[in-house]
Amino acid sequence: MAASRYRRFLRLCEEWPVEDSKRQRDLGAFLRQRVAQAFREGENTPISDPEACDQMYESLVRIHTNFYKNKYPRLKDTTFTGVTVEDCRMILATDILKQMEDMKKGTWRRLREKFSAKKPEEDSK
């Protein structure tokens, strides 16, 4: 029985897309890593809780097949702010998040330099 569960998870991993724009934060890559950890011995891995394993698999299948997106269709493909799905994908890309982090560091450095420059002047007065 463990062999069939293992094969089902492998099939799901093969079908699950990997997004290159979300390096080290991609759900598909994380899923592959967790399956490899859970089934270290491959088809011979003993499963301590088969019901929980089956529930996990069914939940992942629902996510992968967009079950709830299809069950509860949206009228518009935007959020309340008007941001589209493509805009969200672009904003959440690893490169963009890294650029935003670098911008924050630049602002912090400027503020630190600004306040540290005032202190010596205040001391001289």
Counted domains in the chain: 2
Question: Does residue 35 fall inside a structural domain?
Answer: yes
Identify which of 5, 4, 36, 33 has the alpha carbon closest to the alpha carbon of residue 18.
33
41 part of a folded domain: yes
Same domain, 61 and 91: no
| Same-domain pairing of 66 and 85 | no
Q: Show the domain range for 107.
A: 75-118
pLDDT in the model for residue 54? 92
pLDDT in tens, 84-125: 777 777 777 767 666 666 666 666 676 776 777 654 445 454
Is the same domain home to 4 and 44?
Answer: yes
Measured in degrees and rounded to the nearest 5, phi and psi for residue 3 equal -65, -40
The reply to whether 32 and 88 lie within a common domain is no
In a shared domain, residues 62 and 35: yes
Residues 6 and 37 in one domain: yes
- Mark whether 28 and 80 lie in a shared domain: no
Instruction: Give the tokens for residue 89.
Output: 């994908």
**Does residue 124 form part of some domain?**
no
Distance, CA of 50 to CA of 4 (rounded, Å): 11
pLDDT of residue 58: 95
Binned at pLDDT 50, 70 and 90, residue 17 comes out as: confident
The DSSP annotation for 44-106 comes to G---S-HHHHHHHHHHHHHHHTTHHHHHS--S-SB-TT--BHHHHHHHTSHHHHHHHHHHHHH
Q: Is residue 2 domain-shared with residue 58, that is, in the same domain?
A: yes
